[in-house]
Each structure stands twice: as structure tokens, then as C-alpha cells.
């Protein structure tokens, strides 16, 4: 072997970008991310239209399995978290209300807060971590294993075959899970009020019924529908865009959860503002 031949050629070191350069680049990427997300939403809408026309390649058996998965995988967590949030809300409300001897209004606070917004937000966060992340990991692995390429070369749209069933399953299941979370939270508040504050059970239920208008239920359902779209889109988009390297699937999963939760908070703020303006 030639003694003068270097054993290892060290590539020239990359010059590190300054904090401001990196921040600037990230800010400029926000526009691209929005562009990508809207294009993806457009593709999903076109696929849904093709499904209605009966032209889409949609596997109903996958859809039913996904519906089951979205429900079964999250039910226990939704039960626990909603029950506890209902209890916590009852405790916190009681701190002020007991000073005025108005503890019966715990029922109003728990009912209105959970049904209007909190049950949907809590369910959305649980579903982001449980289902959105699994969508990203699953599609990321499929991208890495060239399964998505295999679909494309067969002339099958990955949006129709992989993304649309996931989006529809989650959009369908989110309102169901939210209604269930509403009930669990009310049960949590009920138990604390009866057990700790010795309120009359019938009076508590009557107060809840009077406070929670049907319009609040609809507002909660609108939240959950929009959250379903956000979570499914974030999971599927991050999965499909997954890089084919060791960190790719991990990054896609993390990014899916972060994107979904950020989207949920932003959407909640927008819906709340709109409801306020409309006086609902």
C-alpha cells in the first residue's frame, strides 16, 4: 500500500450558520410549509371528490380497520384524561365559588367549559399523540421501504390509497370521541361535587342540563371535526414527506405531533374568536 496515500479524507468542515441566519431560514421556510400543507389539502379534497364519483381506489376494509383503531386505541386514555380534567375543573371552580356559597355552579362551569371547547382540545391532544404519531410512523416506514414508490409506479395515488382512508376515519371518529369525553368530564365533575362538596346529585344534573345548550354541543363538534382534519393531515403529510435516513421516521413522528398540537391551539383561538364575534 502506498504510504503517502491518506487513509481517510476528511471532508471540508461546513461553516456554522449564525443564530440569526438559521432563524431567518426557518422563518422563510414557513411560507413553503403553508404552501405544502395547502397543496396536500387540495390533493385530499380532489381524492375525496373522486371517491364520491366512484373513481377513487379506496379500500373500504382498510377504512373500517382504521375507524376501529382510532376508537379502540384512544378510548382508555380519553376516558382517563377527560374524567380527571372534569374533576380538576370542579376542584378549581370550587375555590372561588365556595366563598359565595355558590358551589352548585360547578355544574355550569364543568359542563360549559368541557362541552364547548375543553373536551375537544383534550381529545385532540390525546389523538395527536396516539393516532397522528402512528400515522406519521406508518407512512414514514412505507416511504422508507419504497412502498409508496411501488404504488406510484402502479399508477395508484398514495393520497387515495393511504391518506384518504386515514383522514376520513379520524374525521369521523373525533366527534364521537369528543361526545364521549364530554360525558366522562361531566361524570368527573359530578363525583367530586357529590363526594367532596356534598351537593345534591339531582340538582347538579339539572344545572348541567340547563347550562349546556345544544349550540355548545355543536361548537364542540365543529372543534373536533376541524381537529380531526388537522391531526390526520399533519400525521399523513409528515409521513409521506419522511426522509429516507435513520432519523427520518423519528423526526416525522415528532413533527406530526408538534404540528398537530400547534394547529389545534391556533384553530381553537380562531374558532373562539369567531364564536365571540357571532355572539354564540
Partner 1 sequence: MDPTTEPVIEVQGLDIGYGDVTVMRDLDFSVNKGDIFIVMGVSGCGKSTLLKSMIGLKEPSKGKILFEGKSFWDEDEKGQQAMMRGFGVLYQSGALWSSLTVGENIALPLQLYTKLSKQKIQEVVALKLSLVDLEGHEDLFPSAISGGMCKRVSLARAIALDPKIIFFDEPSAGLDPINSRKLDDLILELRDSLGATFIIVTHELASIFAIGNNSVFLDEASKTMIATGNPKDLLANSKDPRVSQFLTRGSIKDEQKSQ
Task: Name the site residues for partner 1 (rule: CB under 8 A).
Answer: 1-2, 57, 62, 141-142, 145-147, 149-156
Q: Whole-number minimum distance, CB 46 to partner 1, in Å? A: 13
Q: Whole-number minimum distance, CB 136 to partner 1, in Å? A: 15
User: What DSSP string runs through 59-88?
Assistant: -HHHHHHHHHHHHHHHHHHHHHHHHHHHHH
Q: Whole-number minimum distance, CB 153 to partner 1, in Å? A: 5
- Residues 95, 98: Cα–Cα separation, whole Å: 6
Q: Which three cell numbers stand for residue 193?
A: 361535587
Of 149 and 203, which has the nearer Cβ to partner 1?
A: 149
Of 25 and 149, which has the nearer Cβ to partner 1?
A: 149
Q: Whole-number minimum distance, CB 43 to partner 1, in Å? A: 13
CA distances (Å), origin 211, targets 90, 107, 110, 247: 15, 8, 10, 49
Of 22 and 149, which has the nearer Cβ to partner 1?
A: 149
Distance separating the N- and C-terminal Cα atoms of the chain:
82
Say which residues have a Cβ less than 8 Å from residue 88's Cβ, sequence separation at least 6.
Answer: none
Burial class (CB in 10 A: 0-12, 13-18, 19+), 128: buried
Q: Whole-number minimum distance, CB 157 to partner 1, in Å? A: 10
Q: Whole-number minimum distance, CB 166 to partner 1, in Å? A: 11
- Residues 26, 249: Cα–Cα separation, whole Å: 21
Of 21 and 146, which has the nearer Cβ to partner 1?
A: 146
The answer to whether 105 and 93 have CB atoms below 8 angstroms apart is yes
Of 102 and 150, which has the nearer Cβ to partner 1?
A: 150
Q: Whole-number minimum distance, CB 198 to partner 1, in Å? A: 54
The answer to whether 128 and 231 have CB atoms below 8 angstroms apart is yes
Q: Whole-number minimum distance, CB 150 to partner 1, in Å? A: 4
The answer to whether 123 and 23 have CB atoms below 8 angstroms apart is no
Of 43 and 108, which has the nearer Cβ to partner 1?
A: 43
Of 86 and 235, which has the nearer Cβ to partner 1?
A: 235
Of 72 and 214, which has the nearer Cβ to partner 1?
A: 72
Other C-beta atoms lying within 10 Å of the C-beta of residue 95: 8
The answer to whether 75 and 175 have CB atoms below 8 angstroms apart is no
Amino acid at each position: 500500500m502506498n504510504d503517502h496515500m491518506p487513509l481517510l479524507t476528511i471532508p471540508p468542515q461546513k461553516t456554522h450558520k449564525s443564530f440569526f441566519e438559521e432563524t431567518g431560514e426557518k422563518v422563510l421556510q414557513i411560507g413553503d410549509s403553508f404552501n405544502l400543507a395547502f397543496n396536500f389539502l387540495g390533493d385530499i379534497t380532489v381524492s375525496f371528490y373522486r371517491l364520491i364519483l366512484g373513481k377513487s381506489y379506496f379500500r373500504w376494509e382498510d377504512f373500517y380497520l382504521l375507524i376501529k383503531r382510532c376508537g379502540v386505541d384512544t378510548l382508555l386514555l380519553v376516558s382517563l384524561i377527560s374524567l380527571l380534567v372534569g374533576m380538576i375543573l370542579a376542584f378549581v371552580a370550587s375555590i372561588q365559588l365556595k366563598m359565595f356559597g355558590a358551589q352548585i355552579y360547578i355544574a355550569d362551569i364543568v359542563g360549559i367549559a368541557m362541552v364547548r371547547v375543553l373536551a375537544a382540545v383534550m381529545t385532540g391532544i390525546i389523538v395527536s399523540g396516539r393516532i397522528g404519531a402512528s400515522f406519521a410512523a406508518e407512512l414514514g416506514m412505507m416511504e422508507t421501504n419504497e412502498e409508496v414508490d411501488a404504488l406510484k409506479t402502479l399508477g395508484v395515488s398514495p393520497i387515495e390509497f393511504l391518506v384518504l382512508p386515514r383522514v376520513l376515519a379520524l374525521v369521523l371518529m373525533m366527534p364521537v370521541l369528543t361526545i364521549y369525553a364530554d360525558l366522562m368530564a361531566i361524570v368527573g365533575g359530578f363525583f367530586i361535587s357529590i363526594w367532596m362538596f356534598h351537593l345534591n346529585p339531582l340538582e347538579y344534573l339539572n344545572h348541567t342540563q340547563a347550562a349546556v345548550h345544544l349550540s355548545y354541543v355543536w361548537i364542540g363538534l365543529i372543534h373536533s371535526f376541524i381537529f380531526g382534519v388537522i391531526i390526520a393531515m399533519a400525521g399523513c403529510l409528515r409521513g409521506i414527506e419522511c426522509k429516507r435516513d435513520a432519523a427520518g421516521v423519528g423526526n416525522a413522528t415528532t413533527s406530526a405531533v408538534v404540528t398537530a398540537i400547534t394547529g389545534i391551539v391556533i384553530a381553537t383561538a380562531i374558532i373562539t374568536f369567531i364564536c365571540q364575534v357571532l355572539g354564540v
